[in-house]
Amino acid sequence: MSDVEASAFAGRFACDFQSFDEDAPWRRAEVLREVLADASACTWGWSGAGRQRADAPLPGRIYRRSDTVVFVEVIVRATPYVRTAAAPDPDDYPEGEDSESWVELPGTIGRSCAPPESDASWTAVEPRWVRMTVPVTRAPEDGRLVVDPGLLAESAGDPAGDR
């Protein structure tokens, strides 16, 4: 995989990892499950409460461990929200379904879990920049790009400055 390919994939993942919506909690898990090496990690990094939208990914430093393992430092703008109205009735959004049907448009490569920028129940507050290291590799079964959080634990001994 090229550095550009790894960086683009890491930016996409970072935006989805930092995005969530307690009114549709299943959406984040569904989206992350498709891009993680271990689908059970799809709930990591979020308590299930609150709403946040991440965008504007800025891939930066790259540490290449091998031809198929690349660590990409990504910075994303994360906008948290505060609830300003009552939560919707859970029966209005059955688990695993959205109020809008998913339509695959030409050029689409996958879903995002970033909630809409505006929602009558939420108000955006001051955004902030968030940095994370995304370990990108290839899935052994089909060669697609995936994020493998286990690789971070393996590299814990590597100094961050070397990345």
d(CA 47, CA 57): 23
* pLDDT tens, residue by residue, 35-86: 999 988 899 999 999 999 999 999 999 999 998 999 999 999 999 999 998 8
d(CA 138, CA 140): 6
Residues 6+ apart with CB under 8 A from 156: none
Question: Which residue range(s) make up the domain with 11?
Answer: 3-162
pLDDT value at 3 more than 50: yes
Which of the pair, 157 or 36, is modelled with greater confidence?
36
d(CA 105, CA 126): 32
pLDDT value at 160 more than 90: no
User: What CATH number corresponds to the domain at position 14?
Assistant: 3.10.450.540
* pLDDT tens, residue by residue, 87-129: 776 665 555 554 455 566 777 778 898 999 988 899 999 999 9
Q: What is the DSSP string of the chain?
A: --HHHHHHHHHHHHHHHT-EETTSHHHHHHHHHTTBSSGGGGGTT--S-SEEEEEEEEEEEEEEEETTEEEEEEEEEEEEEEE-SPPPPGGGS-TT--SS-----TT------PPPS-BTTEEE---EEEEEEEEEEE-TTT--EEE-THHHHHTTTS-GGG-
Q: Which residue has the tokens 């108000």?
A: 123
Task: Provide the number of structural domains found in the chain.
Answer: 1
